[in-house]
Every structure is written in structure tokens, then in C-alpha cells.
Structure 1
């Protein structure tokens, strides 16, 4: 017997890619279970699938930075500053990224790259360990949202958030709708999609001096003038990151989707003050914020 749940959850995360740097991503998760019927004549209660399996997936990868541990461009080590924190040093074609975060902010995947196949294998093993014995098989279908139009991948962190959004390197794949004087503008949407393609969004308020950054000794010794430094404390711990300037946009606000929608609107109004705009900014799949002005 088989049991399925489509659109079980959406995982929002970032991952290290030697070609693109740190990339924000959002994948929809479908689940198919194979098994015999239990004492309730079910393979598994839908409530358990929707609650337990979703929770396992969220805990494993959601709002984390996924690390391909077989990639020689990645180095992970215990922090020398803070207990329960780790350093991550990553070299990509876009430049070097260096981080310190609580250990829970990273997912270590035994692969040389992060893709749907490697994440599917990682999650399948974790989930099967926690399912009842009558469930003999599990098929996960991870897929990107089908977007007809402009979108971008961004990575960020929200220091004021008391949940997992506080992690300094998690991200999203997000579409954007922009209306100018009541008409949707493909040109403006494409321009913002290009501006924020594989971007790291940092808040100016989180910028930190070189003397105060907490990174690995190797990272600190080899920081370049092309890297910019950011850090903050949040409920889970301290977060530090050094980001290449060519994949960075520093905004004058926090990077909640509400404030990002307002940021885009303010940029548009500055360029065309006599026009009316509506910005529909998405955060991953099927959620976001609207700014009008």
C-alpha cells in the first residue's frame, strides 16, 4: 500500500556551490510512503506525516547552510571563540566566504555537491530511522517552484528573529512582481532579478570592524579587501560572516521580506518619483509582502 502527501512543506535554505558561491534556495517537498497497514488500517496517520515528517525535514535542513563535505573547497572546524559554534571556510569562483555560527545553523551532507539527489538521499536516511516498522519505503520528491517570470536567489539572516530565520546564511528562491502605474513591468522585475541573482543581503547596521570579527585563524589571516564583514548576536548564539563584495548588496534596513519590499519600492520611487508602484516581494514559495507607493 502507498500513501502520499503532496506539498508537504517548503524548505528554505542556502548551500555552498563552487561555481555560484553561497546560493539561497527553496524546494517544495512531496512524500510517498510504502508499507503495510497498521492496527488502524493505515500506513501512517496523515496527521503524523504532516507533523512528524515535516518536523524531521525542517530540523534537518530548513533555514540552514548546507555543506557538501566531500568538496575540498569546504573546511569546517570548531570555533576557538565560542562553545557549540563552528567555523566554515569556503572558496568559490565568486570569492571566499568565511563564517562562524552555532553548530545548528549548518547541515553537513556527505557529497561533493548540493543538489536534489544528495539532499534527497540525506533526508531519506534521516526520516526512515524515525518511522514505524510497518513503513518499508519512502520516496521524497524535492522540486523547485515553477515560476513564469523573474526570480532571484538570495541569502541573509535576521538577527531579531527568535526562530531559525536568525541564522546568518539561510536563503530563498523568490519571484517578484512589480507594477508601475497599475501595469506589471517585466523590465523592472528582470532588473531586480539580475541585481539580486545569487546575492547575499546584509544590513548596514550589522557591519563589524576587522578587529571585532570572529572567524577561523586561517580566514582572519587571509581576509581580502574584497570581503566585507558582518556580525550579530541572536538567541541561538553569535553569527559572523565575511562575504565577497561582488555577491553582496548592503541594505539600509533589516532584510525581512516586508522591509525588502519597502526597500525596492523606495529605490523605484527615487528613480521615478512621479510614478506609482506596487512591489509584491516573495520569500520563497507562496508567501511574501506587498509595498505600495
Structure 2
């Protein structure tokens, strides 16, 4: 079995965004990160001499990060973060705090919380849903750096 990796730090697959984690002592405050995305694919080398074409993978990763870049990331599936839309505004209530953001600056993510763990899971599952994974692939993993040296990984096995 072979593997290929994409390092978003070198490939420009990165985004800046702000979020908060509702039950965390320090991270419950609104704050931002410069995220970097990584991908690891394991599988057999195909008849073209590749595990999978890097171009397909990088294109989908870039599409995902562009959608979240310079945005407020909100957990649409949270039971603790209450989100309502009012025209062009998004109102957020959580732990006694209230925020209002322009709708155009918000990205509602299909996650219960915007931790790096949940967001790497979201991205890995989106990759699997939206690109054709060849039969020779055994696993796909997405890593998300909140900062260098602090990466959450999520792996999907086939």
C-alpha cells in the first residue's frame, strides 16, 4: 500500500476564520485562527502509476477553504448555540452571550461545534461525498491545523 499527502501550508490550502466553542473556558470567547488543511490518502498504486490525481483532491480542498475564508463559522447542529436569521442579520445566543453578524459574513456549518475535530470530520466526509474515490483507495484523512503543531485528524476507511 502507498500513500500521498497534501500539505496545505505549502499548497496554499488555508483559510482564516473566527469561531467560538460553547463550553470551553477560554475558547468560548469569539476568536480567530489561520487554519491549514492537510490530506492523506492511502491505497494501491493504479494502472497510471498513481494512488490518485493530486489535482482533483487539491481542487476540492481549495473549494472548501475558499467558502470558509474570512468568515464567522457557526455550528448549525448545536443544541447550545441558538441561531436565528432576521433579514440580512444572523443573531446568535450562547451561554448568556449575544452576537449579531451580517448574514454575508457567516457560514453555517453542519457540525455540533466548530472544533478542529468536528471540522476535519466535516471536510473528510464532504470529500468522500463529492469526489469520486477510486476503488484502489483504502482511506482518506483530513487534518486541520488551528496553529502549527496543533492538528486534528479525521479518517474515513473504505
How high is the TM-score relative to the length of structure 2?
Answer: 0.70
Which of 101, 106, 113 matches 2:103?
A: 101
1:1-293 residue pairs with structure 2 within 5 A?
A: 1-6=2-7, 7=9, 8=11, 9-18=13-22, 19=25, 20-50=28-58, 52-68=59-75, 69-77=77-85, 79=86, 81=87, 85=88, 87-92=90-95, 95-102=97-104, 105-111=106-112, 113-134=113-134, 135-146=137-148
Q: 1:106 to 1:44 in 2, by over 3 A?
A: same
- Distance in 2 between residues matched to 1:97 and 1:128, nearest whole Å: 34
Residue 38 to residue 62, structure 1, CA distance change in 2 (3 Å): farther
Return the alpha-carbon distance in structure 2 between the equivalents of residues 12 and 39 of structure 1.
38
5+ residue gaps, structure 1: 148-293
Deviation at 1:24, TM superposition (A): 1.0
| 1:226-282 per-position Cα deviation (integer Å, ceiling 9, x unaligned) | xxxxxxxxxxxxxxxxxxxxxxxxxxxxxxxxxxxxxxxxxxxxxxxxxxxxxxxxx
1:21/1:105 CA distance change after superposition, 3 Å: same
Bigger radius of gyration among the two? 1
Determine if contact 1:74/1:91 at 8 Å carries over to the other structure: yes
Q: CA deviation at 1:22?
A: 1.9
CA gap of 1:14–1:115, structure 2 versus 1, over 3 A, is: same
Shift of 1:117: 0.8
Query: In structure 2, how many angstroms separate the alpha carbons of the residues matched to 1:72 and 1:127?
Result: 28
What secondary structure sits across from 2:39 in the alignment? Answer: strand
Q: TM-score normalized by structure 1?
A: 0.41
Cα distance change, pair 28–66 in 1 and its aligned pair in 2 (3 A): same
Q: State how far apart, in whole Å, the 1-side matches of 2:81 and 2:6 are.
A: 37
CA separation of 1:49/1:97 partners in 2, compared to 1, >3 Å: closer, same or farther? same
Q: Secondary structure at the match of 2:48?
A: coil
CA RMSD of aligned residues (A): 2.6
1:105 deviates by 3.2
